[in-house]
Structure 1
Amino acid sequence: MIKLFRNSRKKLLDKNKTQRYLKYAIGEIILVVIGILIALQINTWNENRKAANEEHKILTALQSDFQVSKTRIENVMVQQKRVLDYSKILIEIHESENEHNYEYFDTHLDSLDLLIGYGTSFYRAEPVTGAYNALISAGKVDLIKNENLRHLLAQFSSEIESGFEDHNIAMDLLIILTNQISDITLKLANKKFRNHLNLIPRKHDTLIVSKKFFSNDRYFGNLYYKLVLEKNRYDRQQSMLKQADSILSLIDSELEK
Structure 2
Amino acid sequence: MIHFFRKIRQSLLSEGRTTKYFKYAVGEIILVVIGILIALSINNWNSNRITSNKKTEYLLRISDELKGQIKELKLYNDDLTTQIKDNKHVLKILDSQNPDSIPTLKKILGNTSTFWTLRLSFPVTDEFKNQNLQSQIKSDSLKLAFKYLEIYRNSIDAQNDYAITQYTNTIEPFFVKKVNYSEIAIDYFKDGLIQGGPKTDYNTLIKSMELWNITTFKLETLNTGEKIINDLITFFEKIISLIEKEINNP
Q: Please indicate, yes or no, whether the TM-score normalized by the shorter chain is above 0.5.
A: yes
| Alignment correspondent of 2:146 | 153
Q: Is the CA contact 2:83–2:111 (under 8 Å) kept in the aligned structure 1?
A: yes
My pick for the range that moved more, 45-54 or 236-245, is: 236-245
Kindly state the Cα deviation for residue 48 of structure 1 after the two structures are TM-superposed: 0.5
Give the aligned residue type for 2:218: K
Moved more, 35-44 or 157-166: 157-166
**For residues 8-65 of structure 1, what are the alpha-carbon distances to aligned partners after superposition, in whole Å with 9 as ceiling and x for unaligned?**
2222222222333233223212211210111011100111111012112221221222
Q: Superposed, which structure 2 residues align to 1:75-224 within 5 Å?
A: 75-97=75-97, 99=98, 102-103=99-100, 105=101, 109=103, 111-165=104-158, 166-172=162-168, 173-182=170-179, 185=181, 209=202, 211-224=203-216
TM-score by length of 1: 0.79
SS in 1 for 2:32: helix
Letter in 2 for 1:179: V
1:248 to 215, 236, 240: 240
The number of residues matched between the two structures is 243
Change (3 A) 1:61 1:2: same
Summarize the Cα distance change of 1:132–1:220 in structure 2 as closer, same or farther, 3 Å threshold. same
Tell whether the 8 Å contact from 2:94 to 2:206 is kept in structure 1 after alignment.
yes
Give the Cα–Cα distance (whole angstroms) in 2 for the partners of residues 34 and 67 of structure 1: 49
Kindly report the root-mean-square deviation, in angstroms, between the aligned alpha carbons of the 2 structures: 3.1
Contact 1:73 1:237 in 2 (8 A): yes
Post-superposition CA distance 1:45-102 (Å, at most 9, x none): 11111101211222122122211111111111111122112211211232244x4xx3
- State the distance in 1 between where 2:114 and 2:185 align: 16
**1:219-238 matched pairs, under 5 angstroms:** 219-238=211-230
> Contact 1:86/1:118 (CA < 8 Å) preserved in 2?
yes
CA drift at 1:250: 1.6
Flag structure 2 segments of 5+ consecutive residues without an equivalent. none
Normalization by structure 2: what TM-score? 0.81
Alignment CA distance shift 1:190-1:215 (3 Å) = same
Task: Show CA shifts across 1:169-200 (max 9, x none).
Answer: 23223313422532x55565789x98987869
Structure 1: give runs of 5+ residues left out of the alignment.
none
Paired with 1:67 and 1:5, the residues of 2 have a C-alpha distance of 62
CA contact (8 A) 2:113 2:172 kept: no
Q: Distance in 2 between matches of 1:195 and 1:42?
A: 68
Structure-1 residue corresponding to 2:28: 28
8 Å contact 2:70–2:233 — kept in the other structure? Answer: yes
Contact in 1 for aligned 2:137/2:246 (Cα 8 Å): no
Provide the secondary structure at the position in 2 that maps to 1:55: helix
Partner Cα separation in structure 1 for residue 136 and residue 242 of structure 2: 15
Q: In 1, Cα distance between the equivalents of 2:186 and 2:8?
A: 104
